[in-house]
Amino acid sequence: MGSLKKNGGAILSRIATNDHHGENSEYFDGWKSYDKDPFHHSRNPCGIIQMGLAENQLCLELIEGWIKDNPKASICTPEGVGQFGDIAIFQDYHGLKEFRQAIAHFMGKARGGRVTFDPERIVMSGGATGANETIMFCLADPGDVFLVPSPYYAAFDRDLRWRTGVEIIPVHCYSSNSFKLTVEAVEWAYKKAQESNKKVKGLILTNPSNPLGTMLDKDTLKNLVRFVTRKNIHLVVDEIYAGTVFAGENFVSVAEVVNNVDSYEVNVDLIHIVYSLSKDMGLPGFRVGIIYSYNDLVVSCARKMSSFGLVSSQTQLMLASMLSDDRFVEIFLTENSRRLKIRHEDYTSGLKKAGITCLTSNAGLFVWMDLRHLLRDRNSFESEIELWHIIIDKVKLNVSPGSSFHCTEPGWFRACFANMDDDTLHAALRRIQAFVSKNHKIVENSSDSDQIVQSNNVKKQKWKQSNLRLSFRRLYEDGLSSPGIMSPRSPLLRT
């Protein structure tokens, strides 16, 4: 036994022992820190508040209400137990017909009814995680490359690469144009990949974007469809946040674009959609992932692979009934959008009081915070991680640094706002406001008076910002233990 423990790695596979899972990043480290010290209003008011999890809990009581009103939808109730025998036995991995019909119908509803989906092209998977991996298995061989606009979802490194052997090449986007993706940037990344003798098999997008909370406009999507058709590479669009749009223009699905582009400009066999009920419905625990492909061979292959990650028949049965209820779906989508808008405005306005701005966004369950002015060195990712350690270890908030999302510019952070109640959100805002406010005062109190009383306001502001960055470094190194420094826990003592 001793030798097995000592040399256990030698008997495991390369997949089991490689580091492509991506777990060794601040994105996952923040979750681990939260798990060790989770915030609770009464049991642990000084714990870490989870703002690193893109989970939608704002409308769960609507679903609970529907379940209570429709007990026949579940085989776990006296009213629905009569269906137990039919549901408990083996089901084909095509999925229940009524489930595929309901999912296709809901996908159209979540996209404003501007596009319809064919139930025969619906393939099930274990959440969007499983769907993204399955589509990679279908489209690419180990060593093949997919282009992915950055910043991109931190767990793509796991979902797309870990077991498939597929490589990712980022398409870098920048704050100078609000991180907007351009076809020119995709062209450049494609060219560079080819120059490195990489076989590019496709482009994968998240639309709406995670972590940005922004949407691609119809013209950009059309140009991307034309681009992949010219290059004969695949386009995979992860539309998991399609139903979380809360302001601005309507969401444009790639399915809508495909239907409105001249046939000679689009090869539909190259277009694929990934979807899930995890974000729009707030049901990540149900593990409902969907692959929708216009390619018959991909549908067939993905369906065979789906046997490794099927949605349980019990879950299919209940969701088929719920998603077929048009009145409920319309009420839910409208209310979900309304609550997300209120929560987004509540959080961003609270950040403004602390002098923190965010990228303008209108979808998703998070904001892309600009904390560059708080870095010791604006050009240093080391400074970003230092600030992240302060925020999680001292301010006790789990937010995710931009480097986890492969952002090319230090100082951007993703913060999720829909996975908590109002009181917890306000507690988080008080911590942020108190921390930033107190550190401004520390700078003034500990500074040389001749520097503080400068008549030139511009010079004064530059001095304060510079010393604020330095004070954050000192706070982290000192562990917030100085007598004159307020603990970030104290705001919660008043809640």
Alpha-carbon distance values, 287 to 275, 310, 319 (Å): 11, 9, 12
Give the separation between CA 159 and CA 250, rounded to whole angstroms.
28
Give the separation between CA 31 and CA 36, rounded to whole angstroms.
9
Distance, CA of 423 to chain centre: 23
Q: Is 32 exposed, middle or buried (0-12, 13-18, 19+ CB in 10 A)?
A: exposed
Q: Is 325 a catalytic residue?
A: no
The first and second tokens of residue 316, run together, are 């299919």
The amino acid that residue 146 corresponds to is F
Q: Is 241 a catalytic residue?
A: no
The first and second tokens of residue 162, run together, are 């870990």
Classify strands 366-370 and 357-358 as parallel, antiparallel or unpaired: antiparallel
Among the listed residues 84, 153, 118, 122, the one whose alpha carbon sits nearest the alpha carbon of residue 288:
122
Question: For residues 33 and 47, is the Cβ–Cβ distance under 8 A?
Answer: no
Active-site residue identified among 153, 292, 294, 476: 153
Question: For residues 123 and 299, is the Cβ–Cβ distance under 8 A?
Answer: yes
Q: Is 12 exposed, middle or buried (0-12, 13-18, 19+ CB in 10 A)?
A: exposed
Per the listing, tokens 């829909």 go with 418
Active-site residue identified among 279, 394, 396, 438: 279
Q: Is 199 a catalytic residue?
A: no
Q: Is 314 exposed, middle or buried (0-12, 13-18, 19+ CB in 10 A)?
A: middle
Active-site residue identified among 157, 238, 280, 370: 238
Q: Is 153 a catalytic residue?
A: yes
Active site residues: 153, 238, 240, 279
